[in-house]
Amino acid sequence: MSFLTKAPLSLARATITSLSSKEPASSTGKMASNTRQNVTWVEGVRGVASFWVVVTHLCRAWDYSLWSPRDNENATPQLLQLPFLRLPWQGRIGVTMFAFLTGYVCAIKPLRQAKSGNVPAALETLGKSAFRRPPRLIMPATIALIIAWFFAQIGAFEVAHRSDSHWLRRSVPVNIGGLDTEIPRLIRNFQGAWSGANNEYDDHQWALLPLLQGAFLIYVLLFATVFMKFRMRLFTCCTLFLWYWMRTSPEKETFECQFIYGVILCDIGSEKTFRDMINSRPKARRVATALLIIIGWYVACYPGEHWEWATWSVQLKNIGDWIIPQGAASYPKRFTAIGWDLMVTGIWLSPTLQTIFSNKLFMWVGRNSFAVYLTHGTVLKVGLARLIYGFSTTPYSVEQPKDGQGEAIEHWIPRSTNWFVWALAIPTFFVVEYTIAHLWTTYVDSYCAKATKWLEDMMFEKDEDEKHGVATMA
């Protein structure tokens, strides 16, 4: 994040802050709630998304069974395999959330300017936002890549590579050579990360390219519809959403549909007539909010593996056959998209939930969400792996075949079976991770923002007021 937003992205944070500070204040809080939409909740939801991404990777590493509705066809489900409880652990939804938030945030300012009659300012915003997006994503991601590359050179991933976790073994770099091979390998991975290939040093960066491409999809969509009337723009966006939904290519429901749905909700929410209608029906709004979130949460729990092992997931599969296009690449991701769209619509309708997600804790977590997305993989595979497996690879051994035929048997480092180790290691990991993320946001991300601003000042023409140093009101 958007990731992830992603993007899970710090540029969105600046947009939210500027909008919340520049909106004209009403004479009373009640009037303010009726005349403009709250946008700060987006930051809090982004923080939840990044936290769920981290939790998902913990489960991938050490309890992949949570992705199924039960351990086997005849087993009793674990507590965290049951509907509703399984959602944070089974993955998928975090990146979907990042994609929606990217669409929502990218649309806020240009739509507000266009609806106020200042279309030239909206076009200028789109142009400058399109310029800022690549460096604000690529620069911090590249720094995170170089850090992961450095740890690989000093053997910091070896414990994870020799561990009994299949996911850890396949997600860390292997066959580390000398600098004569590793420096070109770093360059190839940088190129591959932004052209669709796997990143060997930090595979969690896979979502950044689709999020970057999605931002430009949004910019083009808004540029093409900025002169349209509200209803015609809404019709265009809905048509494009359905077109992407009916495509069976991988990830369309995770990225393109979410980008566009974010624009749709942002556009509708900025209509005063709609907000007045919703605010005048508080009881109906509360009922709709509750139903949307409950149904959406349930639908998003569709298992990533072995849906046929539980009655509830079989029922969802039968419903999905009617609304998911035949031949879709991933049923689980389709259900995640449907569930999240229902859930976020409920949040979007609820001033109470928006207020909760706008509190200091959620805002702090959201402010550091991009940093968490970029750094958690390295912290997990270097630091947490050592807390769980120890600091030595000595327990790892290879048993050679006695007859000289067949393949050697590798005996991986076993994970700790002491519950106290886990009870200490997991909270320690989160404390260290969010401390690093806070420092990253404070220093690394701020320097990347300054570098982007320098590039912008160097490459863009200044308007007449800026050339003459005239102070302007935002």
Residue 16 has pLDDT above 70, yes or no: no
| Confidence at residue 24, expressed as pLDDT on a 0 to 100 scale | 41
Q: Is 117 within the bounds of a domain?
A: yes
Tens of pLDDT, residues 324-340: 999 999 999 999 999 99
pLDDT of residue 20: 46
Helix axes 230-246, 256-269, angle to 10 degrees: 160
**What is residue 400's predicted lDDT score, i.e. its pLDDT?**
82
Give the mean pLDDT of the chain: 90
Q: DSSP secondary structure string, 248-273? A: -STTTTTTHHHHHHHHHHHHHHT-HH
Q: Kindly state whether residue 444 falls inside one of the protein's structural domains.
A: yes
- Does 41 reside within a domain? yes
Q: Which residue has the higher pLDDT, 359 or 30?
A: 359
Q: What is the pLDDT of residue 8?
A: 43
Q: The domain containing residue 161 runs over which residues?
A: 10-23+35-281+361-387+420-460
Out of 18-32, 227-241, 404-418, 435-449, pick the least confident. Answer: 18-32
Asked if residue 426 has pLDDT above 80, the reply is: yes
Closest-CA residue to 44 (of 397, 368, 317, 269): 368
Amino acid symbol at 241: F
402 falls in which pLDDT band (50, 70, 90)? confident
Residue 7 has a pLDDT of 43
With contact defined as beta carbons under 8 Å apart, do 393 and 158 qualify? yes
Task: Report the candidate in 57, 58, 385, 337 with the shortest Cα–Cα distance to residue 206.
Answer: 57
Q: How far apart are CA 168 and CA 383, in angstroms?
A: 13
The pTM (predicted TM-score) of the whole model is 0.89
DSSP letter string, 69-126? SSSSTTSPPPGGGSTTTTTTTS-SHHHHHHHHHHHHHHHHHHHHHHHTT-HHHHHHHH
Residue 341 lies in a domain: no
Closest by Cα among 357, 367, 426, 331 to 57: 426
pLDDT tens column, 265-309: 999 999 989 989 998 999 999 999 999 999 999 999 999 999 999
Residue 402 within any structural domain of the chain: no
Q: Work out the average pLDDT over 446-460.
A: 95
Rounded CA gap, 247 and 265, in Å? 22
Going by C-alpha positions, the residue among 233, 256, 301, 230 that lies closest to residue 102 is 256
Alpha-carbon torsion, ordered 145, 149, 151, 155, to 10 deg: 150
209 lies in a domain? yes
Structural domain includes residue 202: yes
Percentage with pLDDT > 90 across the chain: 84
Q: Is the Cβ–Cβ distance between 76 and 232 less than 8 Å?
A: no
pLDDT given at position 406: 76
- Beta carbons of 441 and 372 less than 8 angstroms apart: no
Q: How confident is the model at residue 2 (pLDDT cuts 50, 70, 90)?
A: very low
Q: What is the number of domains present in the chain?
A: 1
Residue 372 lies in a domain: yes
* pLDDT, tens digit, 9 for 90 and up, residues 81-98: 999 999 998 878 999 999
- Amino acid (1-letter code) at residue 293: I
Question: For the chain, how many residues are written?
Answer: 474
- At residue 407, the pLDDT reads 83
- Report pLDDT digits (tens) over 165-209: 999 999 999 999 999 999 999 999 999 999 988 899 999 999 999
pLDDT above 50 (res 392) = yes
Kindly state the average pLDDT of the residues 354-361.
95
What is the pLDDT, as a whole number, of residue 450?
Answer: 96
Helix, strand, or coil here: 301? coil
Residue 404: what pLDDT?
67
Which of these ranges, 14-18, 31-35, 359-363, has the smallest mean pLDDT? 31-35
